[in-house]
Structure 1
Amino acid sequence: MRHAFRDLRRRNIAPWLTRYLNANGGTRIEIHPVDQQGVEARHRRPLRVRNKNIYRWGPIVQAWASQNFLELEHQWEWEISDLDSDHRSYAYVSHIGLLG
């Protein structure tokens, strides 16, 4: 029952969320890199929090709403591909924040 509720909620909120995130030309996000605490100190890379504007939220929200994690990963890869040579460091992140 709980899964059915979450599926319905995702499906119902997706159109609103897409409109909200696309309003005013997109939404700026703050990307926090993956937590490297489990990585030996000598192998850690100096990563910083990055900011990026995303202008095309429809495919991302649709992948999330349908729980298509392969497509969500593909859309994320496309969005971070312009983060210079460190873009692979942001393929798996600890979290993102929406900036007003």
Structure 2
Amino acid sequence: MPERNDEFGKYGARGIKGHEAVARQLDQLAGFIATPITARRGLVARLHYLTRTERSRRAAREAGLTVTDRTLKAWLEGKRSPSKRNLERIEAAYRAVRRRNVARYLLVRLNRDGRGTRVEFHPVNQSQVERPRQRVVEFRTLNVRHWDRVIEAWVRGDGAALDEAWVDDAVVDLGSQWGQFEYVSNIGFAA
């Protein structure tokens, strides 16, 4: 395999790491609450999601939301408002719990009993690169059959593990062109 890009963007190419595009697409598929947490409706929706069952309360505590039940009740009733720091903790806990809850569903949908899912690789934007330095990179599609490590790393929020899993389980199947898709403008797939 070729080495990874050390100086991406040196000549003006624009894009993001492939694993970041995958994480963004998985987040979109997870269906997070659209209303921002700063709105009362968004805050209450997240708190209900995190406190609905004892299992979700335990998961929220594991994800970093360690306030008392009395405080949670006051927030839900609107008697008190969480601080900015607690809003960040609520959002982080909500995203972690939501990822964990939808992971099994996404894994089944993406693996499709070994058939996999068609993934679109959109190449980097080279419009700012001088003509002699531009690479010939085209739109590619690939059927990714193994999503287990990718989903596992995404649930943990581990970028390094997600990058390794994405390259080892998906991008390497592009053959000798895999290095051209370490950075992309977008990666698209559906579940």
- TM-score, L = length of structure 1: 0.88
Where in structure 1 are there 5+ consecutive unaligned residues?
A: none
Higher Cα Rg, which structure: 2
2:163 aligned residue: 73
Mapped partners of 2:110, 2:158: distance in 1: 19
2:94 aligned residue: 5
Bigger strand share: 1
Mapped partners of 2:189, 2:159: distance in 1: 20
Matching residue within 18, 25, 32 for 2:122: 32
Structure 1, residues 22-54: CA drift from partner, whole Å, max 9, x if none? 114211111112222343332111111111111
Compute the displacement of 1:77 (Å). Answer: 1.3
Contact 1:30–1:99 (CA under 8 A) maintained in structure 2: no
Mapped partners of 2:92, 2:135: distance in 1: 39
| Aligned residues: CA RMSD | 1.7
Deviation larger for 78-87 or 18-27: 78-87
Contact 1:34–1:92 (CA under 8 A) maintained in structure 2: yes
Matching residue within 144, 155, 178 for 1:54: 144
2:186 aligned counterpart, secondary structure: strand
| Aligned length in residues | 100
Mapped partners of 1:48, 1:17: distance in 2: 28
2:136 aligned counterpart, secondary structure: coil
Mapped partners of 1:36, 1:3: distance in 2: 35
Q: Among the aligned pairs, what percent are the same residue?
A: 36
Where in structure 2 are there 5+ consecutive unaligned residues?
A: 1-89
Structure 1 outlier segments of 4+, above 6 Å: none
